[in-house]
Amino acid sequence: MNYLLLLVSIGLEVLGTSLLKKTDGFTNLLPTLGTLTSYFFCLYILSHVLKKLPLSLTYATWGSVGLVLVTIAGIVFYHESLSIYSIAGLFLVVSGTVLINVF
């Protein structure tokens, strides 16, 4: 159940971060409200996950999975490009997260 809540928190963080670009410096009302609401619930759920799971494992997973998903969202929704260095960086981040989770 805790990992399911962690995935929900990650999804809300990705939504909030993806909407952040649309806020135009918090001048567009609906994306701003979506961003703030997503971040609020993301952190609320994450705080409950941290009652049961270790901080390092939780944050490493939250950060790295969020990073990969935000990168994908940037490519799909904002037509951003991905270089070989970006791919290498993502691989290193995910590798580090796997090491933290396994050991």
pTM of the model: 0.90
Distance CA 70, CA 14 (A): 6
Tokens 């901080």 appear where?
A: 55
Domain boundaries, the chain: 2-102
User: Each residue's pLDDT tens digit in the chain (103 positions)?
Assistant: 999 999 999 999 999 999 999 999 999 999 999 999 999 999 999 999 999 999 988 999 999 999 999 999 999 999 999 999 999 999 999 999 889 888 7
